[in-house]
Structure 1
Amino acid sequence: MFFLAHLLLLSGVALGTPVLEKRADPQGIDVSNYQSSINWKTVKATGSHSPTSRQRKAPYTGATDAGLIRGSYHFAHPDTSSGATQAKYFIAHGGDWSGDGITLPGALDIEYNPDGDTCYGLSDSAMVNWITDFSNTYHTATSRYPVIYTTTDWWKTCTGNSAKFGSTNPLWIARYASAVGTLPAGWDYTTFWQYADSGSNPGDQDRFNGDAAGLKRIAKG
């Protein structure tokens, strides 16, 4: 996740300043190894978000050199190992956070299984426990709760629409439509909205809640 510092605020849930400020609908992008090269100087929006497992180093370097604040996400596979194990791996491989003013807390990408059962074979309660394990492990190591990236449909289907995380974890909702729509239980608003999978910039297209001062607060913790 990379952002132009002079454009954004992310109105954080439990990130030190849990206040929803007026939104100016700044734009952002989400990129991975599917975008082989990016000319960061021509990106018109606020930035990108790159997973550690998909060519993180090049996007991080390029985006930072272009003056963007950055962050990473972890695509969860709850069927392969515990939440704690995956959080520790994420932290050790680029998902860590530091109060350097240019690094955002990492995000947990928890959504439809690309390889099998939609809910990875877990019950609602087991899925909630897995997410809790990941979130708490990340928080213990970094002092920050990870952003949760998901869809409302998946969340209802696979967590029983749990309201457990709304007071701690910022929400990044994915919904390709003209409006955010209904949010998962526990969240009154979304910090990020991924509204399209293509647009004027490379990668997925995102909107963010806020302005510059809030973004800086989140990056600095």
Structure 2
Amino acid sequence: MIPEHTNETGNPEDNDHSGGQAPAARRFRERGAPFLTVLREKLPASRRRATQAGVAVAAVGVIGLMIGCGSPGQSEPNVQDAALQAPIPSPSVPPQQAAPVTPESSAAAPPAPDAQAEPEAPPGPPVEGIDVSNHNGEIDWSQVAADGKKFTFVLATDGTSFTNPRYGEQYRGAKEAGLIAGAYHFARPGSSSAEEQAERFLDTADYQADGKTLPPVLDLEVDPKAGGCYGLSVDQMQQWTKTFNEKVKERTGKDAIIYANPSFWRECMGSTDAFGNHALWLASYDVDSPSVPNGFGDWDFWQYTSKGKVAGISTNTDLNQYKEGLARLERLAR
């Protein structure tokens, strides 16, 4: 009798319940083990430890391949080729977790609009305005506005000691009536520093970027007492003016408007073009068209008479034009 669980040879180890696949597995272990050892030896020590499990997995995969191919009627695969084909996983950085997709995140965000500079306001017909001081007394600004005046300059300070006592009422009254208003300082360069006069002027003027205020004005004229350039050289006058304007820029963010006449600019400022980027308020009377001083490309404001008559003001008044039209005047007042 043949013992149970043995084959006809009587050798229990030769009992094959897998159609002859167990012997193939043993042969793979015997023939493939040296090759797998070589593979592990070729890896760096750090990778060898990290991939030990991977190699084992690869070996199992190869065994499965060999067993699958070891059925009767098929030739044994080459163990070396099978090992090379089996994947040997390498340690890698785990993939980052993807952010959950929500309806908000799945919708493409609209592109941000390109920042575009505001187009320049179109030029228009000249705009009429006035300038006033304490000499003009009380003013009915509603009548000034009804008379077609769109802007005014108001004297704030003179030199280092004089302040227009009517500045507040004239300046506020003009704005309340709808006029665009600006303050001016009568400069006296020979009497004190540019910093001192600029600080005093700006403290009085109380410039506000409210859309109704013109940049501060530096009024440059000959010395009303002695004539000439206050005893200063051209270079000294230029430096004084530069320092005053830098203080205005520092405190208001605006370049000062420069008031001057052609002869003063030539004799006291040497026809410099150092202030050509500033708006020019040009004083020139009894002419059809003013002569622009060297150093400026054109005039912006033109004071064309000191003997004007305006409704709401009992005295003669300086009359002015702004050359570029109302839209650009409003742009200047921003």
Normalised to the residue count of structure 2, the TM-score between the two structures is 0.57
Provide the rounded CA distance (Å) in 2 between the counterparts of 1:20 and 1:126: 37
Provide the rounded CA distance (Å) in 2 between the counterparts of 1:69 and 1:161: 30
Q: How does 1:1-221 map to 2 (within 5 A)?
A: 22-43=123-144, 44=147, 45-52=149-156, 53-54=163-164, 55-94=166-205, 96-167=206-277, 169-201=278-310, 202=313, 203-220=317-334
- Contact 1:193–1:206 (CA<8 Å) still a contact in 2? yes
Structure 2 counterpart of 1:13: none
Q: Report deviation, 1:68.
A: 1.3
Provide the rounded CA distance (Å) in 2 between the counterparts of 1:181 and 1:215: 20
Give the fraction of aligned pairs with identical amino acids, expressed as a percent.
34
Please give the per-residue CA displacement for 1:64-92, whole angstroms capped at 9, x wherever unaligned. Answer: 12111211000000011111221111111
The code of the aligned residue for 1:205 comes to L
- Contact 1:29–1:206 (CA<8 Å) still a contact in 2? yes
Normalised to the residue count of structure 1, the TM-score between the two structures is 0.85
- Contact 2:217–2:257 (CA<8 Å) still a contact in 1? yes
More helix by share: 2
Please give the per-residue CA displacement for 1:189-214, whole angstroms capped at 9, x wherever unaligned. Answer: 11100000012314201011123322
Provide the rounded CA distance (Å) in 2 between the counterparts of 1:150 and 1:107: 11
- Contact 1:166–1:185 (CA<8 Å) still a contact in 2? no
- Contact 2:128–2:322 (CA<8 Å) still a contact in 1? yes
The answer to which of 141-150 and 62-71 deviates more is 62-71
Q: Report deviation, 1:104.
A: 1.4
Query: Which runs of no fewer than 5 residues in structure 2 stay unpaired?
Result: 1-116, 157-162
Query: Which runs of no fewer than 5 residues in structure 1 stay unpaired?
Result: 1-15
Q: After TM superposition, where is structure 1 displaced by more than 6 Å over at least 4 residues in a row?
A: none
Higher relative contact order (CA 8 A, sep 6+): 1
The code of the aligned residue for 1:193 comes to W
- Contact 2:150–2:180 (CA<8 Å) still a contact in 1? no
- Contact 1:163–1:184 (CA<8 Å) still a contact in 2? no
Q: Report deviation, 1:22.
A: 3.3
Provide the rounded CA distance (Å) in 2 between the counterparts of 1:185 and 1:217: 26
Provide the rounded CA distance (Å) in 2 between the counterparts of 1:72 and 1:134: 15
SS at match of 2:282: strand
Provide the rounded CA distance (Å) in 2 between the counterparts of 1:75 and 1:110: 7
Q: Report deviation, 1:21.
A: 5.3
